[in-house]
């Protein structure tokens, strides 16, 4: 059959004429055949493809195997391996982005047809022949306002350390969409992603009707996660709810092994309701009849609603205290901030219950089964779990990049990014507390300064013996001028009138004050799915900066009490004024000239790469400077900063 032939050639790639077979052309994500025809993937029969993959097993050498067969103990030598993956990967991202355009953020009504969202989700799974196999997954399902991703990440690490093959589905991603799908603790590879992606895409396209249109982005990603976890034969699937719970696309899960609800607070009120009780009711929608559930300490209005919902469904709901740091036997939680003890406590209970209900607890941990002690595997998981952009500290190494001469590198100041994607009132407070503690860790004493990057024993010995070289170094470090800078953006659906004051007052109550605040647009937008290799746009001329200017005005009102209502509302920036002049960093509030739209303690910079360059230039020019930059307000912004500084 013609389509089947195209398909086979497309995937079993490369061989024929060595022509790149996935091509991004005028028509998005079309597939180019060696003889020059191009077909949108919808015409391609991926089903037949998926049943013929060349794989390698140690005993049997090369052979073909169905994609649905176990893959854990064989190395897949897919023909796609030699394909120009960046090309085909970008094509997949283009296709994904087209799903965003169907639906504006928070707008539930743009999808037509007579079916509700969860009905459609079930139909998508049926189309992909996944219904029964999803029912067979052993799932931990986690809802909540804050801490879902962290809790799921702890669960994943604990169960992987306990010997299970794990599948983790989280949201959002920071740099690359594959971060959302982790198999055994590692982001899914591009090769596997492409295979599963096009398989789902093409089948759904083939069955697209008016009543069953292509799913919007998050629904598609959820279906894809199920596809991946089923095909990868994971032992446990840890699934983070996207938004809310009751109507979330992950709520097609009918019989999880255990459910968790993390800390509840005010977020997504436009969809979930304006009271904490209404929000709790949505989250409790993940409870399933008689399936055990755990939650953390909540305000009573939220807890009452959770308990009422639990009673109705005969759900045994337990409230978990934050993990006691003593339980870690001297180890540290790998995710920073006090709030992570609450997430970790929840993760421990979820994992214990998962192990018990799957009949593994007794087998594995009978010996360790003393209530007070956590099994070693739990400790390893809790002390190694990793998720980017949550209370993450990155020391910028720009001063050692190759084009900088060694002399400059040695005499450069410090640029340290404190990254946390908080964007709700409660999380911005958690973030502010963490930042206040974390920056002090970097300033307190000479030996502490170095302890982050040097062996502590060495420093102590050297310090006691007064080794000149190191002593000098310590004193230099100690004498550095520290400046705290806020780098902020938030999406327009958030309320900066709540976020910024909460951030400032929480920091101030710990004695932490910002010298400067910089407002910058994010590069990423929710309507374009990008990867780590996607191009960072450099064109800033047409950027509408009115949102950033309004954030700046709000900042000036909060911090300096400047009445900004009378100011002219600028929306565009003069091309010459792209980043602040050098002295800006050292100016104080007395230099403000609000009537000219100039503020000495805050700035709008029209692009993130420019901002990073400006910060780097500042530390290069002044070796005694330490810039501690808190990046927060948006996970997009955090992801963008990581992307730019790692290039
Ligand atoms: N238990 C908590 N209480 C308050 N804030 C928290 C808690 N856990 C995490 N946070 C804050 O929320 C941010 C996001 O954390 P995480 O990714 O774990 O949560 P999430 O629920 O998955 O968030 P999102 O809504 O972005 O998916 C963190 O960077 C931190 O600022
Ligand atoms: Mg959220
Ligand atoms: Mg999340």
pLDDT tens string 64-118: 333 333 343 333 434 444 444 455 898 999 999 999 855 554 455 556 668 899 9
Q: How confident is the model at residue 331 (pLDDT cuts 50, 70, 90)?
A: very high
Instruction: Identify each DSSP E strand in 122-224 by its residue range.
Output: 139-143, 166-169, 181-183, 186-187
> How many whole angstroms separate alpha carbon 7 and alpha carbon 403?
46
Residue 111's alpha-carbon distances to 116, 171, 172, 412, 448, in angstroms, are 9, 22, 21, 54, 55
Rounded mean pLDDT, 598-624: 91
Which residue do the tokens 């309004």 mark? 550
Could you identify the atom of ligand 1 that is nearest to the CA of residue 267?
25
Which residue do the tokens 């400032």 mark? 504
- Is the link from the previous residue into 172 a cis peptide, with omega within 30 of 0? yes
Judge whether residue 31 has pLDDT over 90: no
Burial call 156-165: b when 16+ CB within 10 Å, e when fewer:
bbbbbbbebe
Q: How confident is the model at residue 313 (pLDDT cuts 50, 70, 90)?
A: very high
Tokens linked to 458: 């060495």
Could you identify the atom of ligand 1 that is nearest to the CA of residue 171?
27
Judge whether residue 141 has pLDDT over 50: yes
Judge whether residue 636 has pLDDT over 80: yes
Rounded mean pLDDT, 266-288: 94
The CB of 237 under 6 Å from ligand 1? The reply is no
Q: What is the number of the ligand closest to the CA of 148?
A: 1
> How many whole angstroms separate alpha carbon 325 and alpha carbon 250?
32
pLDDT of 70 = 37
Q: Measured in angstroms, how far is the CA atom of residue 274 from the centroid of ligand 3?
A: 21
Judge whether residue 608 has pLDDT over 60: yes
Q: How confident is the model at residue 587 (pLDDT cuts 50, 70, 90)?
A: confident
pLDDT of 370 = 60
> How many whole angstroms separate alpha carbon 107 and alpha carbon 215?
14
Judge whether residue 469 has pLDDT over 80: no
Least confident among 187-196, 241-250, 465-474, 517-526 = 465-474
Q: How confident is the model at residue 478 (pLDDT cuts 50, 70, 90)?
A: low
Judge whether residue 39 has pLDDT over 50: no
Judged by phi (left if over 0) then psi (alpha if -120 to 50, else beta), residue 215 lies in beta
Judge whether residue 226 has pLDDT over 90: yes
Residue 201 CA from chain centroid, whole number: 23
> Percent of the chain having pLDDT more than 90?
60
Mean pLDDT of the chain: 79
Q: How confident is the model at residue 525 (pLDDT cuts 50, 70, 90)?
A: low
pLDDT of 548 = 94
Instruction: Identify each DSSP E strand in 354-503 by its residue range.
Output: 392-395, 414-419, 481-488
Residue 76's alpha-carbon distances to 54, 61, 89, 187, 200, in angstroms, are 7, 11, 18, 16, 19
Interior CA angle at 153 toward 375 and 134, to 5°? 100
The CB of 430 under 6 Å from ligand 1? The reply is yes
Could you identify the atom of ligand 1 that is nearest to the CA of residue 170?
22
Nearest alpha-carbon partner for 398 in 565, 95, 52, 641: 641
Judge whether residue 147 has pLDDT over 60: yes
305 touches 143 (CB < 8 A): no
Task: For residue 375, give the DSSP letter.
Answer: P
Instruction: Count the Cβ atoms, other than its own, within 10 Å of residue 536.
Output: 14
Residue 468 CA from chain centroid, whole number: 44
Nearest alpha-carbon partner for 645 in 384, 419, 358, 316: 419
Could you identify the atom of ligand 1 that is nearest to the CA of residue 391?
29
> How many whole angstroms separate alpha carbon 47 and alpha carbon 68?
11
What is the 3-state composition of the chain as percent helix, strand, coil, each rounded to the nearest 5? 45, 15, 40
Please name the residue whose Cα sits nearest to atom 11 of ligand 1.
Answer: 427
Judge whether residue 161 has pLDDT over 60: yes
Residue 440 CA from chain centroid, whole number: 26
Task: For residue 123, give the DSSP letter.
Answer: H
The CB of 343 under 6 Å from ligand 1? The reply is yes
**What residues form DSSP beta bridges with 134?**
none
pLDDT of 109 = 52
Q: What is the number of the ligand closest to the CA of 423?
A: 1
Nearest alpha-carbon partner for 188 in 157, 152, 231: 231
> How many whole angstroms separate alpha carbon 215 and alpha carbon 195?
18
> Residue 32: enclosing H or E segment and its boundaries?
strand 31-32
Q: Measured in angstroms, how far is the CA atom of residue 320 from the centroid of ligand 2?
A: 21
**What residues form DSSP beta bridges with 39?**
31
Q: Is the interface score ipTM higher than 0.95? A: yes
> How many whole angstroms separate alpha carbon 103 and alpha carbon 620?
45
Q: Indicate the Cα dihedral angle 632, 634, 639, 645, nearest 10°.
A: -40
The CB of 429 under 6 Å from ligand 1? The reply is no
> Residue 560: enclosing H or E segment and its boundaries?
helix 546-560
Tokens linked to 523: 């590069």
pLDDT of 567 = 58
pLDDT of 83 = 45
Residue 563 CA from chain centroid, whole number: 37
Q: Determine whether 184 is exposed, middle or buried from the number of CB atoms within 10 Å of its CB (0-12, 13-18, 19+).
A: middle
> How many whole angstroms separate alpha carbon 88 and alpha carbon 32?
11
First vs last C-alpha separation in the chain = 45
The CB of 179 under 6 Å from ligand 1? The reply is no
The CB of 632 under 6 Å from ligand 1? The reply is no
Judge whether residue 421 has pLDDT over 90: yes
> Residue 441: enclosing H or E segment and its boundaries?
helix 425-441
Q: How confident is the model at residue 405 (pLDDT cuts 50, 70, 90)?
A: low
Q: Torsions phi, psi of 294, nearest 5?
A: -130, 150
Judge whether residue 443 has pLDDT over 70: no
Q: Measured in angstroms, how far is the CA atom of residue 84 from the centroid of ligand 1?
A: 36
Which residue do the tokens 């958690």 mark? 430
pLDDT of 114 = 82
The CB of 390 under 6 Å from ligand 1? The reply is yes
Nearest alpha-carbon partner for 339 in 389, 282, 386, 296: 296
Q: How many CA atoms lie within 13 A of 215 on its CB side?
A: 25
């Amino acid at each position: 059959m013609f389509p089947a032939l195209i398909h086979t050639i497309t995937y079993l790639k490369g061989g024929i004429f060595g022509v790149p077979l996935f091509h991004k052309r005028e028509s998005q994500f079309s597939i180019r055949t060696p003889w020059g025809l191009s077909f949108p993937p919808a015409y391609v029969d991926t089903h037949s493809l998926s049943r013929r993959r060349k794989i390698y097993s140690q005993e049997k050498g090369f052979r073909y195997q169905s994609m649905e067969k176990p893959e854990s103990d064989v190395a897949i030598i897919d023909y796609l391996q030699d394909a120009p993956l960046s090309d085909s990967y970008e094509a997949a991202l283009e296709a994904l982005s087209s799903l965003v355009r169907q639906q504006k953020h928070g707008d539930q009504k743009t999808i037509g047809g007579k079916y509700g969202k969860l009905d459609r989700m079930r139909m998508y799974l049926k189309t992909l022949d996944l219904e029964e196999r999803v029912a067979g997954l052993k799932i931990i399902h986690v809802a909540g306002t804050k801490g879902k991703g962290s809790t799921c990440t702890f669960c994943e690490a604990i169960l992987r350390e306990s010997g299970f093959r794990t599948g983790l589905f989280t949201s959002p991603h920071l740099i690359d969409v594959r971060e959302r799908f982790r198999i055994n603790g590692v982001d899914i590879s591009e090769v596997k992603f492409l295979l599963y992606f096009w398989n789902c895409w093409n089948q759904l396209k083939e069955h697209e009707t008016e009543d069953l249109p292509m799913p919007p982005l998050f629904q598609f990603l959820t279906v894809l996660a199920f596809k991946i976890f089923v095909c990868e034969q994971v032992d446990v699937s840890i699934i983070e709810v996207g938004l809310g719970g009751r109507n979330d696309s992950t709520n097609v899960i009918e019989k999880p092994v255990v459910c968790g609800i993390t800390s509840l607070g005010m977020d997504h009120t436009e969809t979930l309701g304006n009271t904490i009780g209404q929000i709790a009711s949505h989250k409790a929608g993940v409870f399933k009849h008689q399936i055990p559930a755990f939650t953390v300490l909540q305000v009573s209005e939220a807890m009452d609603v959770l308990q009422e919902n639990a009673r109705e469904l005969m759900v045994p709901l337990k409230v978990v205290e934050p993990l006691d740091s003593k339980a870690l036997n001297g180890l540290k939680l790998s995710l920073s901030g006090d709030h992570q003890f609450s997430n970790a406590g929840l993760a421990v209970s979820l994992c214990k219950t998962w192990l018990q209900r799957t009949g593994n607890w007794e087998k594995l941990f009978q010996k360790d089964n003393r209530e007070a002690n956590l099994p070693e595997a739990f400790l390893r998981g809790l002390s190694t779990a990793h998720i980017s952009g949550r209370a993450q500290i990155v020391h910028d190494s720009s001063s050692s990049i190759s084009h900088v001469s060694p002399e400059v590198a040695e005499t450069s100041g410090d640029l340290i990014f404190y990254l946390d994607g908080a964007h709700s009132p409660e999380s911005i407070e958690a973030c502010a507390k963490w930042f206040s503690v974390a920056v002090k860790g970097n300033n307190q004493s000479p030996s502490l300064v170095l302890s982050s990057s040097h062996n502590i024993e060495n420093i102590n010995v050297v310090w006691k013996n007064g080794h000149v070289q190191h002593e000098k170094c310590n004193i230099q470090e100690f004498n550095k001028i520290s400046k705290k800078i806020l780098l902020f953006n938030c999406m327009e659906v958030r309320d900066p009138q709540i976020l910024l004051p909460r951030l400032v007052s929480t920091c101030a109550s710990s004695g932490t004050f910002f010298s400067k605040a910089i407002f910058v647009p994010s590069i990423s937008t929710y309507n374009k799915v990008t990867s780590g290799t996607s191009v960072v746009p450099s064109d800033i001329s047409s950027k509408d900066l009115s949102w950033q200017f309004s954030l700046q005005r709000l900042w000036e009102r909060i911090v300096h009490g400047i009445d900004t209502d009378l100011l002219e509302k600028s929306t565009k920036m003069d091309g010459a004024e792209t980043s602040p002049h050098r002295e800006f960093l050292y100016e104080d509030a007395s230099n403000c000239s609000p009537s000219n739209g100039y503020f000495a303690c805050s700035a709008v910079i029209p692009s993130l790469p420019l901002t990073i360059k400006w910060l780097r230039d500042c530390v290069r020019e002044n070796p005694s400077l330490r810039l501690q930059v808190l990046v927060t307000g948006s996970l997009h912004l955090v992801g963008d900063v990581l992307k730019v500084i790692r290039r």
